Structure formats: C-alpha cells, structure tokens
Amino acid sequence: MAEILALSIFILLLWILNQLSKRKIKFHYRNLTAIFLGILMGWALYSFLPKESYAELRHYIKSISNIYIRSLKFMIVPIVFISITHTLIHLDNNSNVGQKFGRIILYFVISVTCAAGIGLFMASMFNFDTIIDVSKISSENISQGYANRIESLSDASLGNVIYGFTQNIPTSIFDAFSKNNIIGTLIIALLIGSSIKRMKVKKAQEMSRVISAIDSAKLIVNSMTMTIIKLTPYGVLALMTMAVAEKGPSLFSDLAKFVSVSYLTMAVIIGMHLLVQFLNGVNPFKHFNNLIPALITGFSTQSSGATLPVTIDTLENRNGVDTETANIAASLGTTMGMNACGAMWPVFMIVLSVGVTNAMGGQMDLYSPSVLITMFISVVISSFGIAGLPGTASFAAITAMTIMGISAEVMGIVLTFVLSVDSLIDMGRTATNIFGVSSAATFISKIDGGMDMKIFNKENQ
C-alpha cells in the first residue's frame, strides 16, 4: 500500500511539472522546482517508506531518469559529428579553425591552472592536510581494498598518460560512434568537414548535394535535441529523488566541513570566470543566468557528456555564442578543461594525501617549490582525457597523485575518506566544469567578434 501511495505521489509531481510547462513557466524555474520537489520526495521516501518497498519503487523512478539520461547520451555523437562537420563546411576563407581550437585549449589550460591554485589556497586555509584522522581509518579493510584497486589501474606515468590519450584516435568510424568517443568523433568530423570544404572548390556540383544533406541533418539533429531537452525537468525530478532517497540526511551531513569547503571553492572558481567575463565586456550576471539550464542539467546528471546537448543549445540560443565556438568548446569540454574534476579535486586529494603521508611517518613538504611545480604539472596533465561521466574525477585524482609519487595505500585511505560524500560533491563539480567550459566558449566568441549580443541580452523563456 505504501509503495502504491509513493508511486502515485511521484506521478503527481510529474503531472505538476507538466502543468508548469503548459503554463509556459520559464525552463530554469521548472528545473529548480524539479530539484526542490525531488529533494522533498526523496527525503520522504527515505524517512517513511520501508527499504523493501523502495527497492521495487526505485525501478519505476529510475525508468524516468534512464529515459532522460540515455536519450541525452544517444545525442552526443550526432551532435558533435554533425555540428563540427556543418561548421567546417560553411567556414569562410578568413576563418582559421586551427587557431580556434588552440585558443580554446589554451583557455582550458590557464583556467585549470588557476582553478588548481584556488583549490590549493582553499585546502590550505581550511587545513585539509590535518582533516583525516589516520588512527581511525588507515586500518579499515576498505582502505586496503581501494589500494588494491588503485594498483590494478596500471601505470599512471606521464608517458602512459600521453599514450592513453592517443588511444582515443579511432581505428574505425563505427567504433568511435558506438563507444561515444568524443575525441574520435571530433577527429572524424574534422577530417570529413575539411575534406568537403576543399573538394567543393573542385567538385562544386557533387559537393553541393553532400552539403545540402548535412544542412538537412543539422536541422533534424537540432529538432531531436530540443525534444530531449524538454524532458529535463522530469529527469531532474527522478535523479534528485533517488539521490536523496538512497542517502537520506547523510547526503547533506557527512563530512560537512569538507563538503562545505568544496562548494565554497567551486563558487570561487565560478567567480573567477565571472570576473573574466566582466573584464571582457560581458555582463557576468546575465552570463550566469543564461547558463542556468545547462548548470542544472549537469548538477542533476553528474555528467558533462550527457549534458552536452543542453550545453550547446544553451550557448547558442541563450548566450549568443557562435555555432563554431559553441560546438568546439562544449565538445572538447567533455574530456578536458574541467575546472572542478580536473583541477580542484586532484589538488584536494593531493593535499589530503600529503597530510596522511606525513601522519604515517613520511616526510613530504607540500609547499616546497619542487612539490608545487610537480603538483601543478600533474594536475594539468591529468585534466586532459577525462571522461565526462559520473565519478571519473577520482581517476583524474589518482593519475595526478601517482605522478606525485603518492603510495597506493595512502590513496586508498584518502578515497575511503571522501567516498560517502563524493556523489554530492560530484553534482557541484559537474556544474562547475560546465560553467568553466561555457565561459571559455563565451570568452573566445566575444574576442573573435562572433558573439550575438542580441541573443545574449534577450529575455529568456
């Protein structure tokens, strides 16, 4: 009976979101409402519904989130491939896409370095090197389990990291597409798009048919994307309901200091990007407001890859970023330039690791020039090639810590410490990653003169 009542209430909440849509309530308000309702629903399920009843109810709720998440992931390859190819074949002769890629990647490297610096400052100010009580956690079996798992991840040396990145180069078009290999898809799109652009000079009639087909495909993909984006409030409701129902109050209370400092650090990183926009002549408050749909989606899905369709749509249709820059930056941003997952989080893990190492009798001076230089280099290296999926920030951190020479046992202790709140922090990390990537696209588009300020300044629905 309790299970049927809970399911009925969940269906009622879906109906309420549908009614808000019919009444033309602004999209980001509907998403915020979905987060609020999801928290309330999840808390009620955790507090009042027996665990055995929730185990069955969870499948119904997860079906809604599955439809949404899988639909978003389904669109990743078509969007990247069609958008990049379409952009290349319509470039004018004065456009230099190579320079565009270079500027975006340079922005990523600089922003990751700055975010790492912010992370180090915050971790130091709040004494993260003393936050872990080794006497309580180092002897736990789960720590050794994580140490064994880390050792099984293989070598994370600089050479191996570079080699691993080259593994993204596809050996088959279909293999890249089927595995949602963003880097591989980008390479294929660049090759095909640049080839069509060259050939349309020599074979104008033949290429005109190809270009017409790609133009039509772009319209179809855009329409499909918009259809899926409309599902966002329902997906957000389901995702938040499950997140709270499965963790309960511990989602918000465990390791409160660590969680609070993590979110405070992410706020400072976002503030850094807002300052850059201000200095570049872009209204920072409007910039933030325009990006809300992508931020909320990223927060809920914990996946910049799954949020890619929303990110590109938000950049183009709300922030006025030109199509070329929006597609390149957002696509690259699903695997590099992540300010939270690729910069802040590895730095936090390194500071925690140094504290544990010293508490266990080691001697490691975090603030010595050699250690600091190694840390920043390792963080920048580990920030490239991250998969835009939930939980992969820990693998970036493991890579950075391995380059730093942190032992597997210490890494196991640190990961055990943060395990219970990783999911909660990952929500904020994903939103921060997306904001940084979107800010890069906006910055580059503005300085290149491609940003449509009429779209940027319009009142969004």
Tens digit of each residue's pLDDT (9 = 90 or more) over 406-423:
877 788 778 777 776 777
Q: Residue 143 has what pLDDT?
A: 46
Indicate the length of the chain as a whole number: 461
CB atoms within 10 A of CB 120: 24
CA distance 362 to 233: 50
Computed over every residue of the chain, the mean pLDDT equals 81
Most confident option among 188-202, 223-237, 401-415, 445-459: 445-459
Please give the model's pTM, rounded to 2 decimal places. 0.76
Higher pLDDT, 22 or 143: 22
Asked if 251 contacts 39 with a C-beta cutoff of 8 angstroms, the reply is: no
Q: Which two tokens stand for residue 231?
A: 């599902």
Distance CA 188, CA 182 (A): 10
Top pLDDT among 72 and 102 is at: 102
Q: What is the DSSP string of 314-346?
A: HHHHTS---HHHHHHHHHHTTTS--TIIIIIHH
How far apart (Å, rounded) are the C-alpha atoms in residues 300 and 25? 20
Which position has the token pair 């390859």? 77
Whether residue 289 has pLDDT greater than 60 = yes
